[in-house]
Chain A
Amino acid sequence: MDIDSEKCLLDQGIICLGPATRGGCEARCITTNYPCRGCFGPAPKIIDMGAKMISVLGSIIDEKDETKMEQIVDEIPDIAGTLYEFTAGKSVLLRRKK
């Protein structure tokens, strides 16, 4: 596919962690055409990067039917690995009971 470098990658169907991440890497998604994986960690006040991204994706997936929603989500392989690529160590996902 051709990438429009003027348009948000999420709008083009490419999973990008830009909305939830801290900037400063000098490699912002639309200037590089490379979808962000959040290596600088979550933006301030975000406790869990993957959870935040689920809410981001939820707001852009334009589908009301639950079965179809599941189908759309199933199209994304390794969603946990992708949404937590650099933040799994601090995520709620890995939190252990004390």
Chain B
Amino acid sequence: MTNNYKSVVIDPITRLEGHGKIHIFLDDAGNVANAYFQVPELRGFETFCEGRLVEEMPRITTRICGVCPGAHHMASSKALDNVFNVDPPEPAKKLRELYYSAHMVHSHIAHFYALGGPDFVVGPSAPPGKRNILGVVEAVGVDIGTEVIKHRSYAQQIQAMIAANAVLPCAGVPGGMLKPISEEERAQIEEWAKSTVEFSKFTIKIFNDVVLGNEDNKALVLDPGYYMKSYYMGLVDSNNHVNFYDGQIRVVDLEGKEFAKFDTDNYLDHIEEQPLPYSYLKAVYLKNVGWKGLTEGQDSGIYRVAPLARLNAADGMATPLANEEYKKMMEVLGKPAHHTLANHWARVIEQLYASEHLLELVQDPQITSTDIRAEPNEPDEGVGVVEAPRGTLIHHYKTDKKGVLLKDGVNLIVATAHNNAPICISIKKAAQQFVKGPEVQEGMLNMVEMAFRAYDPCFACATHSLPGQMPLEVIIRDVKNNIVWRKSQNIG
């Protein structure tokens, strides 16, 4: 039967981390019969880590991705605490969380302004050459563009201060952290954090103006093509508030009722992996509901992670401004919110939470303490879980008595694996809603890409490409601010 289908391939898909591919099959009438989402890369980290010393893992696993090395570094450091049966001192946990809040700020800014935002700010059907960060800067103005880059840079510099290098972090060890921050560094971080809170408030305003304040964009967020009911998962603190660094894993069902809440060590009692025949990326599902294939509904064990899922799985945010925004969002969308594109909304709320939390932590009297490391004990087995910017991230290691990783002793479940099955479903629904043949327009395909882009998927490396011709203007000024050289291309 499939022989009669005309097929459309989107390869490479853009504005994501890593490589992916979408295959859309049209029937004779030109409607979408089926759509598949494939991850055609295989890297094999779990296998080549076997036999390595477990304490090397916070450095090896950061090489999985250049966008979210901080998330791997933290999950790995937490797993090491458990492998070596040691509980880090309170100031060490706060220092890690300070680092991690900055990491979330940097990643969420990058996604909203550079990856996801162009679809709303410049428009889903705008020419591909405009649908990128430079198109956004052109639309919102250079001054705002400067603020975006400045605050993302603050977040990166805070990470570099604590972990030596923003992209290649060297900080976490079993039982804590290796280097405290000085009072000077603390004061600098505080100044940046204050500015970042203001910037995050401004980001919420931009989201309100550009997305919710624009009828077309608001209609897109609410469009049935981007609506999918599923279970949701996220880490929560003891008040059931969203937490990125620590807590229990909570799962809510399609109606928003708590389905499960468990310690991270017990994750294998609740989720299971399922290979998909056409992709290198496995799907993950809730064991106690069951795998029913790529289907929606209360009986299908498919669940989602990432910003919207975290907000759905929690009862609120731990900081005041973010919690206000949380309430507003849930009032408009209902809880749980099943609108996939509302991930962008949840992401800017999380950016505000991370900024507020960053400021809280840097003002904590313990934050410059030098009591940041406890002695490790004999190694065995341990699990470390954090909420990566893109969703729940699980590291699980098993070692011998010398701390050498055993065969099958490494299990890594990354956010995009949890989201693999839902992304497949979301893409098919969006394709059926927006793609009409036989003449398929580029804009239609971008609307399919928007379905995966909302999840901010990370296909395990930092490459992403800008489609079309990049609009670019280079101006060189001398010390007196006179323009001495200017070259521009594709500026409208």
A residues adjacent to B (C-beta < 8 A): 3, 5, 25-27, 31-34, 37, 39, 77-78, 81-82, 85
Contact = CB atoms under 8 A, between A and B. Distances in A.
Interface of B: 51-53, 56, 59-60, 160, 163-165, 168, 170-171, 173, 178-179, 402-404
B168 A25 contact: yes
11 contacts: A27-B170, A31-B164, A34-B170, A34-B171, A37-B56, A77-B402, A77-B403, A78-B52, A81-B56, A85-B52, A85-B60
A-B pairs, top 6 by smallest CB distance, nearest first, are: A27-B164, A34-B170, A33-B178, A32-B164, A27-B170, A77-B402
B53 A77 contact: yes
Contacts of A39: 59, 168
Given A81-B51, A82-B56, 4 more contacts: A26-B160, A31-B164, A37-B59, A77-B403
Given A32-B170, A33-B178, A82-B56, A77 B404 contact: yes
Contacts, number: 50
Contact of A81 (B53, B163, B403): B53
B405 to A, nearest CB: 9
B165 A26 contact: yes
A81 B57 CA distance: 12
Nearest to B172: A34
A1 B53 CA distance: 18
Contacts of B170: 27, 32, 34
A84 B56 CA distance: 12
B92 to A, nearest CB: 13
A34 B164 contact: yes
A82 B403 CA distance: 13
Contact of A82 (B53, B160, B178, B179): B53
A37 B163 CA distance: 15
B160 A78 contact: no
